[in-house]
Structure 1
Amino acid sequence: MKTKILEKATKMFLNLGFKSVTMDDLANEMGISKKTIYAHFQNKTELVEACTMHVFQLISHGIDYICSLRKNPIEELYEIKKFALQHLNNERSSPQYQLQKYYPGIYETVKGKQFEVMTTCVLENVRKGIDLGIYRENLNIDFVSRIYFSGVTSIKDHRIFPTDQFPVTSLMDDYLEYHLRGIVTPKGRKILNELINSNQE
């Protein structure tokens, strides 16, 4: 039952927002009593934390799997972006913003974990790209990995990028292209252009 509550709550939080969903809403949706929920989670904050870590683990494992496929580094970043968006329901309810506003402690914890996973992933991605001659040799790898994380985090701020003006999927595509065009060699640019063109067909 705990797993079912966790999965349903995660889906509702991502679709409707951490603030919007109450324990009553969750109980009604599942056809159970609030008492049943509280038998597994002491309060809403504990449930939000469990759901947040659940999503983090899912995405982290998915990223690890994609990296293990040893794809072309440019293609790898697009695959990771697509996978993350699928598991965040395209972030329709601005979950990161709501988490930051209403559960700042949980937000900071998960952001720290995201930083570790993402910078490690991008460091490895950049190294592979340099070895293959599709990323520039003179890159400061640590800088690139951190500025990438910083950018990915910033574009999720709906005060800066309102969703009615910047739909999430196209915003992520624009950011990824912006990132890659700054680090590719002519050889890498050719691969990137081919990938972008194939995605538009």
Structure 2
Amino acid sequence: MTTETNTKVRIRQKAEELFMKYGIRSVSMDDIANALGMSKKTIYQYFVDKDELVTAVVEADVQDMQGDCIKILEGSKDAIHEIFLTIDRLLEQFRNMNPMLIYDLEKFHIRGYQKFMDHKNKFLLQVIRKNLERGLAEGLYRDDLNADLVARFRLESMMIPFNIDLFPPTKFSMADVSKEIMELYVHGLVSQKGYKLIVKYKEERLKQANHDTLSGKTK
């Protein structure tokens, strides 16, 4: 990686860190420059304006999210395990995410928002559909499911944790809301065989959490 490329990546990563924590609108180019210990002029050598920087952050995030989805699919034992691994990844992401992020993106950075929506409505919809097909083939999901309807429902339910009117951040954490929604979703999908796997994976996670607590580990 050249020095120039390295600097551009550093700027993008620092911007992402600040956007995730404080939201996009409340973070200025001055804030990013100060956090990096460089001049704003230097940032403008790599990004024409804040909008271009936001778009670059979204593009990198989308690439990472798609890579995560592929790794989760490859590392999962079955369709239900895939959902539990997805829950783990979402909790990791949402613990440090400002719920205003999507609102700021839609309101002030339409290019970035369109890229995110394209990822959501095409890539993520396919991921959900494939999981439903997998679960049906494995006999873990109810065979009377309307897969197309359920996939669209799941796609839109992903956005609920960002609704700050419904779940104000002072009362609810995005991670908790997302976990509850995902667990309700998977419980609604499963056959009797699938329900047994839910119980199994939950027990495994509880044992691991207890082990981590006893050994002094924190997640």
TM-score between the two structures when normalised by the length of structure 2: 0.84
Q: In the alignment, does 2:162 pair up with 1:156?
A: yes
Q: Percent identity?
A: 28
| Structure 1 unmatched runs, 5+ | none
Matched residue, 2:214: none
C-alpha contact (below 8 Å) 2:79/2:135 kept by paired residues:
yes
Matched residue, 2:27: 21
Give 1:88 shift. Answer: 5.0
Matches within 5 A, 1:38-57: 38-57=44-63
Secondary structure class of the residue paired with 2:35? helix
Matches within 5 A, 1:29-178: 29-87=35-93, 89-178=95-184
Structure 2 letter corresponding to 1:61: G
1:164–1:196 CA distance, 2 compared to 1 (3 A): farther
> What is the alpha-carbon distance in structure 1 between the residues aligned to residue 161 and residue 95 of structure 2?
16
RMSD: 1.8
Q: Which moved more, 1:96-105 or 1:46-55?
A: 96-105
Secondary structure class of the residue paired with 1:155? helix
> What is the alpha-carbon distance in structure 2 between the residues aligned to residue 162 and residue 108 of structure 1?
25
Secondary structure class of the residue paired with 1:182? helix
C-alpha contact (below 8 Å) 2:91/2:179 kept by paired residues:
no
Give 1:43 shift. Answer: 0.3
> What is the alpha-carbon distance in structure 1 between the residues aligned to residue 99 and residue 129 of structure 2?
30
C-alpha contact (below 8 Å) 2:99/2:174 kept by paired residues:
no
1:92–1:198 CA distance, 2 compared to 1 (3 A): farther
**Structure index of larger Rg:** 2
Q: Which moved more, 1:4-13 or 1:85-94?
A: 85-94
> What is the alpha-carbon distance in structure 1 between the residues aligned to residue 18 and residue 206 of structure 2?
31
Structure 1 letter corresponding to 2:29: M
> What is the alpha-carbon distance in structure 2 between the residues aligned to residue 71 and residue 118 of structure 1?
20
- The number of residue pairs the alignment matches comes to 201
Structure 2 letter corresponding to 1:23: M
Matched residue, 1:190: 196
After superposition, what is the alpha-carbon deviation per residue over 1:28-81, rounded to whole angstroms, capped at 9, x for unaligned?
A: 111111111000100001111111111111111111111122422112112123
Secondary structure class of the residue paired with 2:162? coil
After superposition, what is the alpha-carbon deviation per residue over 1:117-176, rounded to whole angstroms, capped at 9, x for unaligned?
A: 211111111111111111011211111111100111123211222223322222111111
Moved over 6 A (4+): none
> What is the alpha-carbon distance in structure 2 between the residues aligned to residue 62 and residue 154 of structure 1?
21
Structure 2 letter corresponding to 1:28: N
Give 1:111 shift. Answer: 1.4
> What is the alpha-carbon distance in structure 1 between the residues aligned to residue 110 and residue 35 of structure 2?
27
Q: Which moved more, 1:88-97 or 1:116-125?
A: 88-97
C-alpha contact (below 8 Å) 1:139/1:183 kept by paired residues:
yes
C-alpha contact (below 8 Å) 2:91/2:178 kept by paired residues:
no
Give 1:89 shift. Answer: 4.8
TM-score between the two structures when normalised by the length of structure 1: 0.91
